[in-house]
Structure 1
């Protein structure tokens, strides 16, 4: 786990952790720049400043070498400019290769992000599969850069994203766009809605509600057999999720509800409805229930995969999620190495 507030994460859209200079970033930025006339004009200035001295030097040297032919003089200038343009392209490409890293450092400095405690990283790891799949951040409360973390002067200057990002190589979605997506996915438009999501999750989340309805329907047995087949588990394992005792109610699809709840609350933070302190306060009871119910990451993710099979009824979706989790475990992400809490899980 990154122990330092200035530790870089993966570049959004990539899984490498932490981000570093890469030639492919230069190619991506150049393609993006060519689609933006304003950026092309801005690029022309450093190119000219680097290339022009080479052209002038060639022009001057032609006179030093006592060449009196004007055509030759301008040819020397053209050759010098060609060399200068080549040098400019090499220098600026190298600079572009490190642009995402510099932009993320600038974002970290502007946001004043605080270092995570071990407990906080454990909480975020409960949502790491979706972060990894979306190529987002899992080493910070925000899973993507957001104006909600930036100082007021930057927010006003860029109108919370309506006037673009402060950094060309680090896209920052507008709060308007984030809030629209949050409402569509979680029906959260206020702080109270986020609090209700936590309360519902702790009682019976959306995945568990649907699972319970199907379990007690005429198609319940068929559904459990189908889910067992998709996940390559015994049907008794699926049936056990619907069985409870006086001491412990049926788990149903609790793991998936916890994952969804943590994702929704983090999204509410990214959209600016919650402060960091409010977000951690809402996340804590969700994490506590997960850590008190399951005994390991393997057990937790096993039941998330069961929920994926139930929700999608798709072998491809189950296989894709398993592959993503395997890739995550092999990665250098903080979530791949954080430990499951040693105490609290029920026997």
Structure 2
């Protein structure tokens, strides 16, 4: 099969929960080529689902929040390294191309969120918007589910952390500015590289690097605290950019930076290996071997405490570079704390929102 432009994964890997496997045979591919037909439909499809809750409790000690919420399952951005790919298997799809081409959306997310936050038993906690898939992926421009959820959070004065790699977040700057004034929001912008070519290969349907940098600048200028996540760092692909990237985002107003070391858990190991052999054939082995060096000889490490940072010499070098970069460019800077004291589920002080 030819390289599929505009997609990260190049295969639909077998779903581990299925006994039988769907295989596209060579004779079928030859037939399609002879008939000038496509073997697969590469268009993105969208399916509404009807969850009973929108908040997911997070038990991982590696993550600094107790709940996450994701208005979408699957992500059209197509980032090849995305740890969330495996979750698509629970919906009966592949972690490969299906993850990018079959997007499930929760149209009732805002209603579910408001109901949960107004529950008398709810205690205000930090919620991460997009702990799994990007809440500002392309379909959000049309559906506006994320915007509706932000309106609920502002109305009830509930704090939230957000992470995205899409400049579409600037559409909601009117809401974010009001929340920032009340210390109810901080935003992480994911910037994996300063190279547009690297971005295009790693994250084919994401916002360009130029627009992401502009997003950091605009949010910061409007008083919205910004953290930049260089996540993940992939040895032999983007680990040489640490100092340059931290310097750049600090100049644009970012308050802090963070990083993770790539880990290829579950089905992602095979998906990434297939991709890297097609995309970087001259250094695929080097990339894979250096990733393994960060995880005790494996492509993945699921141990809490080490899985996101890695171990060994390469991981130590990455951590050291980040420590020095922070000291050089963000020495006395940090994200302000969120305000957990003004949560107002009964909406007793509505006028202050418009003052």
- TM-score bucket of the superposed structures, by smaller chain: under 0.3
Report the TM-score when normalising by structure 1. Answer: 0.25
Larger relative strand fraction: 2
Report the TM-score when normalising by structure 2. Answer: 0.25
Pair member with larger Rg:
1
Larger relative helix fraction: 1
